[in-house]
Structure 1
Amino acid sequence: MNEEDVNFLGGLLMEKQTIGFIGLGVMGKSMARNIMKAGYPIIGYSRTKGKCQDLIEEGMEWADTVEDVAVKAGIIITMVGFPSDVEEVYLGNHGLINRAKAGTYLVDMTTSAPRLAKKLYEAGKEKGIHVLDAPVSGGDIGARNAALTIMAGGEYQVFEALLPLLQTMGSNIVYQGEAGAGQHTKLCNQIAIASNMIGVCESLVYAKRAGLDPENVLKSISGGAAGSFSLTNLAPRILKGDFEPGFYIKHFIKDLKIVLDETEALGLEFPGVSLAKSLYDELANEGLGEEGTQALYKYWK
């Protein structure tokens, strides 16, 4: 990325040029809303227009296709479901890399495969398009509060130039290295969460079986050495019987599959991740894939 490109991007951001946003689900919708709150116009596309009606009423321009976004926005963020969706959105005949003009900036915030992130980077580079992989952590709460953790991979100058935009969505934003490094870092995040979520659920099951008040138990253990995001934010939802998705089980299964594919390629064996995936697979087979990851608690019920 040369100095002229950096200056051009800085100008786009300073002038609050239109930002494209593809994938307006549980998290994407809040992320797009926070970008609009920062003063950037947005043109958005998602598979189900009806679910985006509130954003449209708040001023978001609706695009009928991915291609519409590609031709109208110089900076485009994607937050879709699965690696196959990422590949279609970026590399399909009417996808971003084939339809966007040279000089466009693409930021994929989906949790996807590191190898795919590198593929997108190289494909973009051939056409003069700048691609950053920047997956997030923090769930629906972090998305609503513009407090996401963002892990970025790609050219540092692109990351640095896009930082003001990323700061409208996140509070912990770290450049991790070359293309794919953001995705590798997100997999580290999911590895840490996988076994932790099992521990949180088993702890609550144990507390109830032992005749304790689980809410009092949380008061003691949340602030101690056992403390974690899941214990603080998801355990109270479990106790209230709230299994609505901040992050879908079906998407966590996807993430854990990517982890296992990558660990196999690295010659590693992770029994904790394998166990977590097997438990979530059971819940998905029972029709619970659309519930939040805290619904793992139902395994013991």
Structure 2
Amino acid sequence: MERGRIMGLSTSAKIGFVGTGVMGKSMALNLMNAGYPVYVYTRTKEKAEDLLTQGATWIETVKELSQHVDVVITMVGYPSDVEEVYFGENGILENAKEGSYVIDMTTSKPSLAVKIYEQAKARNIHALDAPVSGGDIGAKTGKLAIMVGGDGSAFEEVLPIFQSMGENIIHQGNAGAGQHTKLANQITIASNMIGVVEAIVYAKKAGLDPERVLDSISRGAAASFSLSQLGPRMLKGDFAPGFYVKHFIKDMTIALESAEEMGMSTPGLALSLKLYKELAENGEADSGTQALIKLFQ
């Protein structure tokens, strides 16, 4: 497919972006840098100011944005937020143009992705669920992993848009498949974060230099994003959110519920969720996930 063509539309296709938080802001900026005209809406306009000063256009409501653009991308917080922006007379699906594309990049429920897809299809709108992984670093550098569910034809048509935000972009299957893949991703991270924290605390108690330990173990069989990227933040006492504790709790809760629906036991996930809930109760809900180490020190 020719770069920059989206079902007859060029890179002048208007993209609406709903949600410009830690991740969304960088993702929208990368779209702008790729040459797409970007229109933004977020509940708190101040969060979009950086984008507006760099050329994004502010739209007052989700309804107006949906009517104005060719592609709507959502990157909000919780499934309840997804429902709020997609459904109802003022939502995306009631107001998006026929033949347009709606892409939810929030980590949300697979069943909700299917519901959006079905209602969109009934209105001749192309819907994809495309959650991401890579944190604030991946969002800033445009190297996110993007896991996509929905029709293969729609995926191919908007692939250049995904390529502006990520580099590991895989169509996983039908509607909801992207969300299921992201939940598998979060299940992997859940137990891994406990291991990273325990390793760092162990190294300190053994009288080792934890930075030197990280240099050794982050390049061997124990290597992971959490170890190499979040481990150093733990050592520096940097608990600013690349990914919020409260959002990780949301993701793990959805994953646990989904696993239970399939009759599957996930003890590692359950333990991580328990620990992160304790961390949030200690006032760390708005910290980055690396703040887990505070429970162990």
What is the TM-score when the length of structure 1 is the normalising length? 0.96
Which residue matches 1:29? Answer: 25
Which residue matches 2:119? Answer: 123
Report the Cα offset of residue 103 of structure 1.
1.1
1:1-301 maps to which residues of 2 (within 5 A)? 9-12=6-9, 14-301=10-297
Structure 2 residue runs without a partner (length 5+): none
Letter in 1 for 2:7: G
Report the Cα offset of residue 15 of structure 1.
4.0
1:85-128: CA deviation from partner (whole Å, max 9, x where unpaired): 00111013210001112111000000000000000000101111
The structure-2 alpha-carbon separation of the partners of 1:212 and 1:133, relative to structure 1 and needing over 3 Å to count, comes to same
Q: Distance in 2 between the 1:297 and 1:65 partners?
A: 40
Q: Distance in 2 between the 1:18 and 1:80 partners?
A: 20
Q: Secondary structure at the match of 2:263?
A: coil
Residues 35-44 or 49-58, more deviating: 49-58
Q: Distance in 1 between the 2:128 and 2:11 partners?
A: 21
CA-based RMSD of the aligned residues comes to: 1.1
Report the Cα offset of residue 64 of structure 1.
1.1
**Contact 2:129/2:178 (<8 A) preserved:** yes
Q: Distance in 1 between the 2:42 and 2:163 partners?
A: 23
**Contact 2:11/2:35 (<8 A) preserved:** no
Report the Cα offset of residue 11 of structure 1.
2.5
Q: Distance in 2 between the 1:218 and 1:15 partners?
A: 43
Q: Distance in 2 between the 1:198 and 1:139 partners?
A: 18
Q: Secondary structure at the match of 2:8?
A: helix
**Contact 2:19/2:75 (<8 A) preserved:** yes
Q: Distance in 2 between the 1:8 and 1:121 partners?
A: 23
Report the Cα offset of residue 240 of structure 1.
0.6
Letter in 1 for 2:161: L
Q: Distance in 2 between the 1:40 and 1:216 partners?
A: 44
Report the Cα offset of residue 9 of structure 1.
3.4
Q: Secondary structure at the match of 2:22?
A: coil
The structure-2 alpha-carbon separation of the partners of 1:54 and 1:8, relative to structure 1 and needing over 3 Å to count, comes to closer
Percent same amino acid among aligned pairs? 59
Q: Distance in 2 between the 1:287 and 1:62 partners?
A: 33
Q: Secondary structure at the match of 2:256?
A: helix
Residues 283-292 or 138-147, more deviating: 283-292
**Contact 2:34/2:164 (<8 A) preserved:** yes
Q: Distance in 2 between the 1:125 and 1:242 partners?
A: 45
Letter in 2 for 1:9: I
Which portions of structure 1, spanning 4 or more consecutive aligned residues, are displaced by more than 4 angstroms? none
Report the Cα offset of residue 74 of structure 1.
1.1
